[in-house]
Amino acid sequence: MNPPHPSTTGAAPIQSNSAGTAPGLVNETQDRLNQVVDQTQDAAGQATQQAKQQATTQLASQKDRAVDSLITVAQALRQTSQHLHEQEQGMIAGYVEQVAERVERATNHLRSRDVPQLLTETQDLARRRPGLFIGSAIALGFLGGRFLMSSGRSATASPSSTLSPVSAPGTTEL
């Protein structure tokens, strides 16, 4: 009997005797299985890296928008504080000024950190003070929801709400 030709993948020929056939086939199958597992792990690793990179890019963009928004908030608080000082509301103006300073510190903190550092700090806070973390998340969610609801209402206000009242026939306006 002639030995079979080697396969197109370059594997060793299968032995013609029955004692050597099974171990050779098992080894070839194991090698192919190992190759498939390695390829699958490589593909999964690449997909994971790509997803992490995209998430980091999106988070960095959102961080930049948040910094811009916080700068605007701090400026508005400073202007409000100045107006309150002009109206001789010094005590309230002082509180508003303190809030403006804290917003500026938060802005500088966000600006000076990259996304992985911010995620690490958030995870550390959640581990150290879970109650504070959960409470803050709820408060931020509530405030965000209120903001979205209020901005949605103003955008969808009916045109009739902007019209001036019409007097009934036979009446005069004051």
Residue among 117, 84, 119, 114 nearest 99 (CA): 84
pLDDT for res 157 = 54
3-state secondary structure of 22: helix
pLDDT for res 54 = 92
Which residues make Cβ contacts (< 8 Å) with residue 119, sequence separation at least 6?
A: 59
pLDDT for res 132 = 93
**pLDDT, tens digit only, all 174 positions of the chain:** 445 544 444 444 444 444 457 777 888 889 899 999 999 999 999 999 999 899 989 999 999 998 999 899 999 999 999 999 899 888 999 999 999 999 999 999 999 999 999 999 999 999 999 999 999 999 988 888 887 788 766 555 555 444 444 444 454 544
Task: Show the tokens assigned to 155.
Answer: 């955008």
Are the CB atoms for 32 and 40 separated by under 8 Å?
no
Q: For tokens 């938060």, what's the residue?
A: 106
Q: How far is CA 129 from CA 119, 122, 123, in A?
A: 15, 10, 10
Domain residue spans of the chain: 31-112, 114-151
pLDDT for res 153 = 63
pLDDT for res 155 = 53
